[in-house]
Amino acid sequence: MFVNHIHRTVCGLFLMMASVVVFAQAESAPQKADTPHEMVELVTEQLLSLVRKYNDGEVDTEAYFAEFEQTLEPVVDFDYIARVVMGPHGEDATDEQIADFAKVFRRGLVRTYSRGIAGYVDSNITLAPPEDDVAEKRRVSVRQDVRHQGSNHRLSYTMAKNRAGEWQLINLVLDGVNLGRSFRSQFSEAARKYDGDLDRVIDNWLDDVS
């Protein structure tokens, strides 16, 4: 299916962006990123340096996964994502099922799609400047263009301010394909496949989306 064909690329780039957000918070102080655009621009090279570090010599895969999980944890609300991805099926889910799916969803992202970032180390990445002042906004789109091996990809990051006033990534559109809708569609397909049995959907999620 088309969704499955682009799924890995979308998620790989989603992880790249989510990692960028964490590095802005963790590694780049004392430099302050006042806007989401500055945040992305400030730390992209730091993230790519991390990937290069793991590309040198023998890679400790578990350490790599662990660092990605540690990176994603502060900026991604997996319980919220689980509810969004589950869509109307989440209305019938128990709190335990939602928590279980959040864990499986996180594990799948970390272990499957963290590998995809390595392929973009040598990409030409450019950030479009903000079209207007974002200081008073709660949600903005940040556009980034990635040129890789003769192909051009346009990314649109949806960034939102949380209650603490911190910018966080909540969605990504790659070349017109919406990440959140892609995951939600896959969950719906899985629910149909297993006749609405959410436990089976959760248990088989990693195999079905790999």
CA distance 47 to 158: 19
pLDDT band per the 50, 70, 90 thresholds, residue 5: very low
How does pLDDT run across 88-145, given as a tens digit for each residue?
Answer: 999 989 999 999 999 998 888 777 666 666 667 677 888 888 888 887 888 888 888 8
The full set of domain ranges for the chain reads: 2-209
Q: Could you give the angle at which helices 36-55 and 2-26 cross, rounded to 10 degrees?
A: 100
pLDDT band per the 50, 70, 90 thresholds, residue 2: very low
Query: Taking all residues of the chain, what is their mean pLDDT, rounded to a whole number?
Result: 75
Domain 2-209 = CATH 2.102.10.10: no
How does pLDDT run across 159-168, given as a tens digit for each residue?
Answer: 878 788 877 7
Q: Is residue 8's pLDDT more than 60?
A: no
pLDDT value for 100: 93
Find all residues with CB under 8 Å of 195, minimum gap 6, and list them.
none
**Bridge partners (DSSP) listed for residue 168:** 160
CA distance 5 to 8: 7
Give residue 117's identity as a one-letter amino acid code: I
Pull the structure tokens for residue 161.
């301010």
Q: Is residue 57's pLDDT more than 70?
A: no
Higher pLDDT, 4 or 84: 84
How does pLDDT run across 16-28, given as a tens digit for each residue?
Answer: 554 444 444 444 4
